[in-house]
A and B are shown apart, each in its own frame.
Chain A
């Protein structure tokens, strides 16, 4: 009995140590990224393990000034537009498929959900041609529109199941009082759906902020590039000024981490409702 107890304690310690080790292997590269961004360039090469003698905060200033600022605002604009359009349009569609009655309702819903089975990679080449012929290639809309389109199926799926769980009584009495559909939708439905809107918005923000492939192909000129692509450019542009590059990486990574730490609950609700990996 005692031997068994000691054995199980050894297991507990072992498991705890394994987790600590794994957590360390995740935190170490991230910490290294932050520490390296504060080193001078020669420190970066001569003492990769060391702590900087005097933290070089100017790398952040320089990284923002030479490059990151433009990329950052492009990313912010693309992300905000994608979030607004994908959530608004999906909410409108979800409202219809969760409440209204019409012949082609199932067909419309399957049409929307079917998008879940198409990965964006498959459409890369044809979208490239399509965006060119629509004359929005190499503008920020070349990212916003496809991102929105590809976010719709999942967002609609998420919102529809939430709306189905809301009782109709409140909106019906509003209709009887003579409210328009628009008013019911904006004043009753959207406010009640706030939690799922938050989850959907965060997930859309994450994909739009981090997306790489479309951003690589659909944008040609430097001034419209988003952060993930911009960073790979900076690598060449900064030459061997790696600490400055590290500062740029930190800026890009910290946005999503901060969002997650603030809205952890909404994030996890959205992720687990759908199990769709970006």
Chain B
């Protein structure tokens, strides 16, 4: 039809989206890239070209290895718990004997992912509190009266405390995604396997798992993506501390920009985050084939 070629309408309807994305998504991205080669402060008009100096600065500071290790730990445990355990949970909930209670568990397990991370982080700060916190109280109550772990105050434990909160929030979310995937599998496959005498773990190993591989890959990439850009829980619960022991890439970027006023260094951190997240997102788009019809 002729109307489908009307240039005026095409431009009019596409304009808001193209403008908003061009100005507030692509332009700042390109700017971040250029700004990372300058030394500049937030409220000074002077920008001094320093080439790769900001990147050198980041990688010559031993803190960066701690930061990358924290992000790696985050990604590692999130993959195991959210992508892996999430799928196992979903398979269990689809078992016949769990069908009746499925809606209840599904809703309860999913609930934390609806709540703002800052609310959850504040709540867990109380849970981890060494004096009045639930966790220490519970351990004292079951027979260790002198137990006094510092949790968020301990430089070894702090990052794991953040990781636990993140798992608590998101296992149910990944489970929900997997659940919908499993429900799409042809039920006759499960029946046939059961008639042939397959045990439940065998059904999972030889039917559910192979058919859910793609979905598992998507949840894995999504959780790794989330682990690279993790910010809120670490910022609210520990601010990267004690010392800089629980610092992650995003909190390091925030610290560089708004505490130390080294905007160039912050942009270099942003580009490091961009490279990692871009790779993950590209893989995700390729797997889920969103680019095609």
A12 engages B6 (CB within 8 Å): no
B31 engages A130 (CB within 8 Å): yes
Chain B residue contacts of A30, Cβ below 8 A: 111-112
Q: B37 near A: Cβ within 8 Å?
A: no
Q: B285 near A: Cβ within 8 Å?
A: yes
Q: A49 near B: Cβ within 8 Å?
A: yes
Contacts A121-B231, A153-B21, A164-B293: A229 and B28 contacting too (C-beta < 8 A)?
no
Q: Would you give the 0/1 interface string for B232-256, flagging 1 where the beta carbon is closer than 8 Å to chain A?
A: 1001100000000000001001100
Cβ distance A33 to chain B, nearest Cβ, rounded Å: 6
Chain B residue contacts of A19, Cβ below 8 A: 89, 92-93, 98, 101, 105
B115 engages A256 (CB within 8 Å): yes
Interface size of A by CB at 8 A reads 97
Instruction: Name which residue of chain A comes closest to B102, CB basis.
Output: A19
Cβ-defined partner of A119 (8 Å) among B10, B123, B127, B273 = B273
Chain A residue contacts of B282, Cβ below 8 A: 117
Chain B residue contacts of A210, Cβ below 8 A: 115-118
CA distance A185 to B122 in the complex (A): 45
Chain B residue contacts of A235, Cβ below 8 A: 122
A277 engages B170 (CB within 8 Å): yes
Cβ-defined partner of B24 (8 Å) among A130, A157, A212 = A130
Cβ distance A204 to chain B, nearest Cβ, rounded Å: 14
Q: B108 near A: Cβ within 8 Å?
A: yes
A209 engages B274 (CB within 8 Å): no
B28 engages A130 (CB within 8 Å): yes
Q: A188 near B: Cβ within 8 Å?
A: no
CA distance A232 to B239 in the complex (A): 12
Q: Would you give the 0/1 interface string for A193-220, flagging 1 where the beta carbon is closer than 8 Å to chain B?
A: 0000000000000100110110011000
Contacts A22-B109, A130-B28: A209 and B116 contacting too (C-beta < 8 A)?
yes
B291 engages A110 (CB within 8 Å): yes
Contacts A102-B7, A121-B231, A257-B111: A252 and B116 contacting too (C-beta < 8 A)?
yes
A268 engages B28 (CB within 8 Å): no
Cβ-defined partner of A126 (8 Å) among B10, B32, B258, B285 = B32
Contacts A100-B5, A108-B14, A232-B118: A272 and B177 contacting too (C-beta < 8 A)?
yes
Chain A residue contacts of B277, Cβ below 8 A: 117-119, 121-122
Cβ-defined partner of B285 (8 Å) among A28, A117, A227, A231 = A117
Q: B84 near A: Cβ within 8 Å?
A: no
Interface size of B by CB at 8 A reads 98
Chain B contacts with A in 1-39, Cβ cutoff 8 A:
1, 3-7, 9-10, 13-14, 16-18, 20-21, 23-29, 31-32, 35
30 cross-chain CB contacts under 8 A: A16-B98, A26-B109, A26-B168, A29-B127, A92-B16, A93-B13, A113-B291, A116-B281, A116-B285, A117-B281, A118-B26, A119-B225, A119-B277, A122-B271, A122-B274, A123-B25, A125-B270, A126-B32, A127-B28, A152-B21, A153-B25, A175-B3, A212-B231, A212-B232, A231-B122, A232-B118, A245-B122, A249-B119, A259-B114, A277-B222
* The 8 nearest A-B residue pairs measured at CB: A123-B28, A126-B28, A149-B24, A210-B116, A126-B31, A117-B281, A228-B118, A93-B17
Q: Could you tell me which B residues sit within 8 Å of A by CB distance?
A: 1, 3-7, 9-10, 13-14, 16-18, 20-21, 23-29, 31-32, 35, 89, 92-93, 95, 97-98, 101, 104-105, 107-112, 114-119, 122-124, 126-127, 132-134, 137, 168, 170, 172-173, 176-177, 180-181, 200, 218-219, 222-223, 225-226, 228-229, 231-232, 235-236, 250, 253-254, 257-258, 263, 266-267, 270-271, 273-274, 277-278, 281-282, 284-285, 288, 290-291, 293
Q: Could you tell me which A residues sit within 8 Å of B by CB distance?
A: 8, 11-12, 15-16, 19, 22-23, 25-30, 32-33, 36, 44-45, 48-49, 89-90, 92-93, 95-96, 99-102, 108, 110-119, 121-130, 145-146, 148-150, 152-153, 156-157, 164, 172, 175, 181, 185, 206, 209-210, 212-213, 216-217, 227-229, 231-232, 235, 242, 245, 249, 252-253, 256-257, 259-261, 264, 268, 271-272, 274-277
